[in-house]
Amino acid sequence: MTSRIDNSLTPPSDPARQPGTSLTPRRRTVVKAAAATAALAAPLAATPLARAAAGPAFLHGVASGDPLPDGVLLWTRITPTPDAVPGSGKGPDVEVRWEIAEDKGFTKVVGRGSTTAKAASDHTVKADVRGLRQATTYYYRFSVGSDSPVHSPVGRTRTTPAHEASAPGVRFGVVSCSNWEAGYFSAYRHLAARTELDAVLHLGDYLYEYASGGFASSGDVVREHRPKHEILTLADYRTRHGAHKTDADAQAMHGTHPVIAIWDDHEVANDAWSGGAENHTPETEGSWAARVAAAKQAYFEWMPVRPATEGTVYRRLRFGKLADLHLLDLRSFRSKQASVGSGDVDSPDRTIAGRAQLDWLKAGLAASDAAWKLVGTSVMISPVAFGSLPAYLLKPLAELLGLPTGGLAVNTDQWDGYTHDRKELIGHLRDKGIRNTVFLTGDIHMAWANDVPVTAATYPASPSAATEFVVTSVTSDNVDDFLNVAPHTLSLVGVAAIKAANRHVKWLDMDSHGYGVLDVTAERSQMDYYVISDRADPKATSSWARSYRTLTGTQKVERVNAPVR
């Protein structure tokens, strides 16, 4: 068995069918549309930066991602010398060995290999391991040195069912929007404790680009990120990624489950589009293309993700005949966001996905023989009209979203700002008779359960083409944070107004932080929503909030009275 670092930028035409592949702020957009209790099964301990010694050390944990039936991508970062901190460009090249086994004690080793950690890749390494057994749990570790080797923490991962296997079920943790300065990543810790998960799906905004204090609506910074200034250069992005990988809860999640990640805007800059971003000023911050290149290079160095064509993250993974997971990149190819009320949102000349990606998605959905077609999308596809919101809610939402304080309220950063792409995709689902499509979404810092209507204005008299489960933020500000009030004290009126104006919205929580657990069987896809007690408490507890499911063939969501056990 060999190790290789997969830097290929040319994916196969259908990765799901090929086992060997995968493939200073000006405006806050905190709420972008409406305003572990148990120890780990694998022995994983976060190593603080203070423990860096004269010799090499694994200070950033281990991770795995993009699982396949016969393989998985393994990741770590070695600190070869104390001065070789992330983004420094310092430190010698170091040979890093890896091994993967069927047991935590490594008495049943099934693969070994080595690669080189270089300053040119910020001393991060990836091993694209193949030759594994399908639907199997494995343990892995890295080491440096020969006489007295230094070992990394032990990670745990899992391969997927064979592409044609009749998998009985698959279960994902689902997260989005983890702002370091806003609180602790307790959601990650609670997901790490759930060893029954097949993978964790991170739907974007893994980190934020702002200067310290630039994304805290209340002015409070729970913990200061590094570097303190807004990140612009390759060294900046590497430094911030490195800081996130020192978090104990992040290390626990990454070390326990394979993570399947896509990016949204804050991995580069707020409200990013193909030619710029709201939070980028070329005159003072340099070339947009250079900033994007730096952010993407750091992302692929520090995340357990296989890059696909053109340095993007859209790709497809398969979980037996039960589910195809289509992952989207809705930043690299999109047109600039339209001005609210301009009418440009309906223009056929504007796109959120780009022609090539939209055609790839449509073809993949039509060709799929999986029971469920899951689509990981960083921004919400369901249409939202905000209706008659009270002034105390409309004002903060207008500031957060850049909306007018009166008149039409549309979030043009979501699919609402690119209605032609949405109409084409939904029409494709209808025309081709594609059923059991579930959109999985983050970004908006609120939890939603929606039907995706063919025609929102006449719903429910008109049909639903798909369903959508939206998870809230891990820590990033939402409505109660912005208003600096107790959760669910002021927002309930807004929830009622939004639901009244959008009858396809079955549930909405504007205030909580937490995560989701998606459980998929042949009969149904069910999202269990969990909330965190206090994002500012590093020992925050987790509790179940709501559950919604869609039954096979229905294209509608319904409430369930208990989570899946």
Question: Residue 453 — φ and ψ, nearest 5°?
Answer: -75, 150
In the predicted structure, residue 113 carries a pLDDT above the cut 60: yes
Residue range 121-137: mean pLDDT, rounded: 98
CA dist 101 and 132 (Å) reads: 10
Q: Are 448 and 469 in contact (CB under 8 A)?
A: yes
In the predicted structure, residue 264 carries a pLDDT above the cut 60: yes
Helix then strand then coil, % of the chain, to nearest 5: 20, 25, 55
Full set of structural domains in the chain with CATH? 31-560 (3.60.21.70)
pLDDT of residue 308: 65
**What is the pLDDT confidence band of residue 489, given thresholds at 50, 70 and 90?**
confident
CA dist 215 and 247 (Å) reads: 19
Helix axes 419-431, 355-367, angle to 10 degrees: 20
Contacts with 351 (C-beta within 8 Å, 6 or more apart), sequence order: 333, 334, 335, 358, 418, 420, 421
Kindly tell me the burial class for residue 561, based on how many C-beta atoms sit within 10 Å of its own C-beta (0-12, 13-18, 19 or more). Answer: exposed
Q: Are 382 and 448 in contact (CB under 8 A)?
A: yes
Neighbours of 458 (CB within 10 A): 11
What proportion of the chain, given as a percentage, has pLDDT over 70? Answer: 85
CA dist 289 and 121 (Å) reads: 20
CA dist 534 and 541 (Å) reads: 8
Of 10-19, 103-112, 436-445, give the lowest mean pLDDT range: 10-19
pLDDT of residue 144: 97
pLDDT of residue 372: 98
User: DSSP letters along 204-263, please?
Assistant: S-SS--PPTTTT-TTS--SS--SSSSPP-SHHHHHHHHHHHTT-HHHHHHHHHSEEEE--
C-alpha to C-alpha distances, 352 to 274, 279, 381, nearest whole angstrom: 10, 18, 11
Return the SS3 of 66: coil
pLDDT of residue 494: 81
In the predicted structure, residue 47 carries a pLDDT above the cut 60: no
Per-residue pLDDT tens digits for 389-428: 666 676 666 655 555 444 445 789 999 999 999 999 999 9
pLDDT of residue 501: 86
**What is the pLDDT confidence band of residue 534, given thresholds at 50, 70 and 90?**
very high
The structure tokens 């001005």 sit at 339
Contacts with 411 (C-beta within 8 Å, 6 or more apart), sequence order: 32, 33, 384, 401, 403, 417
In the predicted structure, residue 303 carries a pLDDT above the cut 60: yes
- Rg of the chain, C-alpha, whole Å: 22
Per-residue pLDDT tens digits for 179-220: 999 999 999 999 999 999 999 999 999 999 999 998 866 568
Please give the single-letter amino acid code of residue 94.
V
Helix axes 288-302, 234-244, angle to 10 degrees: 30
Q: Phi-psi category of 12—alpha, beta or left, where left has phi over 0 and alpha has psi -120 to 50?
A: beta
pLDDT of residue 27: 33
pTM of the shown model: 0.89
**Mean pLDDT of the residues in the chain:** 88
In the predicted structure, residue 40 carries a pLDDT above the cut 60: no
